[in-house]
Chain A
Amino acid sequence: MRKTGPGGLALLAALLLAAPAATQPLAEASAEDVAHGKRIFDIHCSRCHGLDGVGGEGPNLMRENLRRSVEDDALIEIVDDGIAGTDMPGHGSLNTREIRNVAAYVRSLGVAPREELPGDPVAGKELYDMTLCSTCHITNGEGIALGPDLSDVGLLRGSVFLKESIQDPPKVVNPRYRTVLVETADSRTVMGVRTGEDTFTIQMIDEAGRHRSFRKSDLREFQLLTDESMMMSYADFTDAELNDLVAYLMTLRGPEGGSE
């Protein structure tokens, strides 16, 4: 079996091809396993994915096709290791059985009925363009990246979370989008979004979208705005306007329009 001739490769290929059908191990989970999984979900996952997985800071998991976790093995791996470069964390504190059971619970969630949103997505899109949201956000390749790319935000976030993000930006600002205010030695103030920082220097994109870099010891003042995000100025939308914006944002589901 250690031999790696063409025969071995063919065998390997056959094994790989056969794998998907052979590995849906979560189907064998017992009702007890799933109940145990729900307990773990409530503690470790619901703060992002919402109770019962309806979505929030993390995507709705009550969908037919989870984009990244069609296979059970992929699902287990995501829960275990997280998704690099996203807010989905690994769960090193859970043991193998706990991870399997919480994954089995995710599989058992089924499909949520399509959410009825009160707003009008067409009016929402107009508002989005009018209010120049794209001076800070990219949708489908257009705009400036001072804030997160919104191209598939409708898949990644729940509607309640989106509404809150606009109306009442989170108290704990995502460290990837911290707002920085500096005053240089010659008394110029520059505001922007932090793109890099170490103990001695800071890098940012300023309001004009330009890259800037400073030594902290050269600055007269240097401030990370902790409880304010760039979104602060949108608190005064009417409820109807907010609903329209959210309805529009929920249609943003990536290049292929995503899959429900």
Chain B
Amino acid sequence: MTTRRLVGIAILITLTAAPALAQVSYSRLLNADDEADAWLMYSGNYKSERFSRLDQINKENVSRLRPAWIYQTGTTGRVEVTPLVADGVMYIAEPPSTIAALDATTGRRLWRYDPIIPDETLNIGFPRTNRGIAILGDTLYFGTLDARLIALDRTHGDVRWETQIADNAVGYAVTAAPLAVDGKVIVGISGGEAGVRGFLDAYDAETGELAWRWWSVPAEGEPGNDTWGGDSWKTGGGATWLTGSYDPDLGLLYWPIGNPAPDWNGDSRPGDNLYTDSLVALDVNTGEMQWYFQYTPHDVHDWDANQIPVLVDAEWEGSMRKLVIHANRNAFYYVLDRETGQFLRATQYATQTWAERIDENGRPVRVPNMEPSEEGTLVWPSLAGSTNWYSPAYDPGRMSLFVPTREMSSIYFKSEAEYEPGTPFLGGGERRPDADETYGAVRALDALTGELKWEFKQLTPAVSGVMATAGGVVFSGTQEGNLFALDADTGEALWDFYVGGGVRAAPMSFALNGQQFVSIAAGQSIFTFALSPGAEAGGNDD
């Protein structure tokens, strides 16, 4: 008895005395660049650079990169998460919406939380997966396939609060990582292919109460509603299914907006269909829109704008400007002023046959007869676009944006589209042309001009994100299952490793006890690499 009591007391003391994991305060998030050992948000920092300030792994030694540990989720779905690392613990999401905490040194699991997703949960137009988590204070925030937002205590994985943000029965879901800002959690939704009406939400981080909601498709009487025919706005799409960026000085969120619904038949929605296929700047406190820029008005190819917008401060025509850069699914690279939304430049970075050019206001001048048709219309790029949600990486020193690129065309078909809640609302689709001339690449673009600096060709169109590092090394993966490292100046391949499953996620990096690690989700596992001690051996990796 006595011993038991003593042990009990000892445990109690340890629990209360054990320093709780350090708080990931808002100021740590603001200064994420100063904390290179950690990876505190989906794209690494609020500018969404996906650039690690760690430089232990560099061009000379990256060939010595070896697996440090592998974590197997044991699931059958796709793992597409970017892990977070804070204070020695890694947080990941497993398909469909399970969160796990791992010891970042060994990969051993500390805890796992499964919100139990009912089998009948709909995922129309995207896989049953979760792409990331937000952290603030000692709480983790993540969305679920059945459209809940859940707050977990990060030490044990206990639920703090849970909010149903929308109805999955009509197609709403959450797959994107939320973004934590000062006291708020911003979260977007998926479901454009089911004809949901898109929105972006902000929740009070403490209580889970809705702070504001911004609808991506304006209602009757609101500005922009006249860019939709009849009632088409009610089923207009405009999903917010990828994490945006944030400028704390301007107090603006930059969120990319999805395609209009139905995807390939625009007959029922004459007009530009605002704010689909746009980038919007929203006041972080109120959700009010400050400006928008629409890349692809009245889209009929499913070229949504759900690609990562990167915030860059640079000299533009003689004076410092706050810019936002965006390699869009529609094959053009854009530079905008992020204070005003003013269009500054568009440069074609991949093969396209749909636009003659982008005019001086940033509006495409369309090539006639490129719409989907009953007989099929051959258009570049393909449905998945010239790039997609796969993160690009921005190297601020080199001023290069590394873009995962797809060279591929599609034959686009159009068919009738009838809206029925909770079913696909598409109006057509694509077929791959017979000739097999597709390929992928990582392309390094000059951030200001969009000019190509180099490309690294891949066998198949890109589906993986990219990370750049202060070591001058760029990491990415392939559909076929390769992970690889490139020279940031030349694009030369320096290292590769076959992981045995498609890489459909983006890499991140962190450090522990002076050692740099690179992690990426691939297949059904998380792979973590570090330099092998073997020092000078180097050279080829086999």
Interface residues of A (CB under 8 A from B): 39, 43-44, 89, 91-95, 97-98, 172, 175, 197-201, 215, 217
Contact = CB atoms under 8 A, between A and B. Distances in A.
Q: Which of A44, A198, A201, A217 has the most CB of B within 10 A?
A: A198
A172 B434 CA distance: 8
Contacts, number: 57
B496 A200 contact: yes
B482 A198 contact: yes
A94 B415 contact: yes
Contacts of A91: 429
B416 A97 contact: yes
B380 interface: no
6 contacts: A93-B431, A94-B413, A94-B415, A95-B418, A197-B459, A200-B498
Nearest to B478: A199
Nearest to B437: A226
A95 B496 contact: no
Contact of A93 (B413, B460, B478): B413
B5 to A, nearest CB: 48
B431 A198 contact: no
Interface of B: 264, 374-376, 412-413, 415-418, 426-431, 434-436, 457-460, 478, 480-482, 484, 493, 496, 498, 542
Contacts of B412: 93
**Nearest 7 CB-CB pairs, A to B?**
A93-B429, A198-B480, A93-B413, A199-B459, A92-B429, A199-B458, A200-B496
B498 A172 contact: no
Nearest to B481: A198
Contact of A201 (B264, B418, B498): B498
B440 to A, nearest CB: 8
Nearest to B415: A95
A97 B427 CA distance: 12
Contacts of A39: 374
A217 B494 CA distance: 11
Given A197-B459, A199-B458, A94 B429 contact: yes
Contacts of A95: 415-418, 426-427
A43 B496 CA distance: 43
B458 to A, nearest CB: 5
B342 to A, nearest CB: 38
A97 B423 CA distance: 14
Contacts of A199: 457-460, 478, 480, 482, 484, 496
A172 B435 contact: yes
Given A93-B264, A198-B459, A215-B542, 11 more contacts: A43-B374, A89-B431, A93-B415, A93-B429, A93-B430, A93-B431, A95-B418, A95-B426, A172-B434, A199-B458, A217-B493
Nearest to A197: B459
Contacts of B375: 43
A95 B428 CA distance: 7
Nearest to B427: A95
A172 B413 contact: no
Contacts of B482: 198-200
Contact of B484 (A43, A97, A175, A200): A200
Contacts of A94: 413, 415, 429
A240 to B, nearest CB: 32
Contacts of A93: 264, 412-413, 415, 428-431
Contacts of B429: 91-94
A256 B493 CA distance: 52
Nearest to A217: B493
B435 A198 contact: no
A217 B456 CA distance: 14
B443 to A, nearest CB: 15
Contacts of B493: 200, 217
Contacts of A198: 459, 478, 480-482, 498
Given A93-B415, A93-B431, A43 B376 contact: yes
A200 B542 CA distance: 12
B375 to A, nearest CB: 5
A199 B429 CA distance: 28
Nearest to A202: B459
Nearest to A92: B429
Contacts of B416: 95, 97
A39 B478 CA distance: 39
Contacts of A89: 431
A98 to B, nearest CB: 6
Contacts of B496: 199-200
A175 B432 CA distance: 14
Contacts of B434: 172
Q: Which of A39, A197, A200 has the most CB of B within 10 A?
A: A200
Contacts of A44: 431
Contacts of B418: 95
Contacts of B481: 198
Nearest to B418: A95
B11 to A, nearest CB: 44
A24 B413 CA distance: 28
Q: Which of B375, B426, B459 has the most CB of A within 10 A?
A: B459
Nearest to B414: A93
A77 B481 CA distance: 30
Contacts of A172: 434-436
A217 to B, nearest CB: 8
A103 to B, nearest CB: 15
Nearest to A95: B415
A44 B481 CA distance: 32
A43 B376 CA distance: 8
Q: Which of A94, A175, A199 has the most CB of B within 10 A?
A: A199
A95 B498 CA distance: 38
Q: Which of A89, A92, A98 has the most CB of B within 10 A?
A: A92
